[in-house]
Amino acid sequence: MIDEEDDEEILKKKRSLKKILKNLVFFGFIVIGVLFMYIGGPDQTLNLVIGFTFICLGTTVIQMKKSPSDPIRQTLTILKCKVCGAIKVRNYESGDFVFKSAGVCDKCNESMEINQIYSVKLKKSKDKEKKLEKDKEKLKQTIEI
Ligand SMILES: [Zn+2]
């Protein structure tokens, strides 16, 4: 049998591996620093300076934080048919503004008007398409109610 792992699990493993690596580097620097301080060369001051530098490096490594990824914003334009009230959601295009007539209704072939423009925050670019579809669905339902 072959074990299959999904992306999520691999990602988690990678993350914890990074954490372990980071801790190793941290302890490595501290140990080197302490060793230099105690059993360094004949120059005690230099030993202290080098030791202190390594300990500082270690603490810097452990304090490094993953920079938060910028949320990706997606702007959507909601079109509404003036005649039958059908709703269409599409990606925002430059020049879109509310009450601008744009496109043709799928149901009755009348011109549609931009009803709303809004932007949604997306977590990951990988899920962008999926999330967008979900948002569109949710939005459609809300409008129809
Ligand atoms: Zn219509």
Q: Count the Cβ atoms, other than its own, within 10 Å of residue 133.
A: 11
> Is 123 a member of any domain?
yes
How many angstroms is it from 84 CA to the middle of ligand 1?
4
Question: Do 57 and 83 share a domain, yes or no?
Answer: no
- Whether residue 145 has pLDDT greater than 90: no
Q: How far is the C-alpha of 74 from the C-alpha of 87, rounded, in Å?
A: 19
Residues 25 and 84 in one domain: no
* Interval between CA 69 and ligand 1 midpoint (Å): 41
User: pTM above the 0.75 mark?
Assistant: no
What is the C-alpha R_g of the chain? Answer: 28
Residue 119 lies in a domain: yes
> Mean pLDDT across the stretch 19-27?
86
Answer yes or no: do 129 and 92 share one domain. Answer: yes
Q: Are residues 57 and 113 in the same domain?
A: no
Q: Which residues does 75 contact at the CB level (< 8 Å), separation at least 6?
A: 91, 92, 117, 118, 119, 120
The pLDDT tens digits of the residues spanning 46-62 come to 888 888 888 888 888 77
Q: How confident is the model at residue 4 (pLDDT cuts 50, 70, 90)?
A: low
Cα atoms in the Cβ-side hemisphere of radius 13 Å centred on 114: 18
In percent, the amount of the chain with pLDDT more than 70 equals: 83
User: Residue 104's pLDDT band (boundaries 50, 70, 90)?
Assistant: very high
Q: How far apart are CA 66 and CA 128, in angstroms?
A: 21
Segment 80-100 mean pLDDT: 93
Domain residue limits at 11: 7-63
pLDDT of residue 108: 93
Is residue 117 domain-shared with residue 59, that is, in the same domain? no
Residues 126 and 6: their CA atoms lie apart, in Å, by: 14
6 C-alpha to center of ligand 1: Å? 43
Confidence of residue 91 (pLDDT cuts 50, 70, 90): very high
Residues 58 and 83 in one domain: no
The domain total for the chain is 2
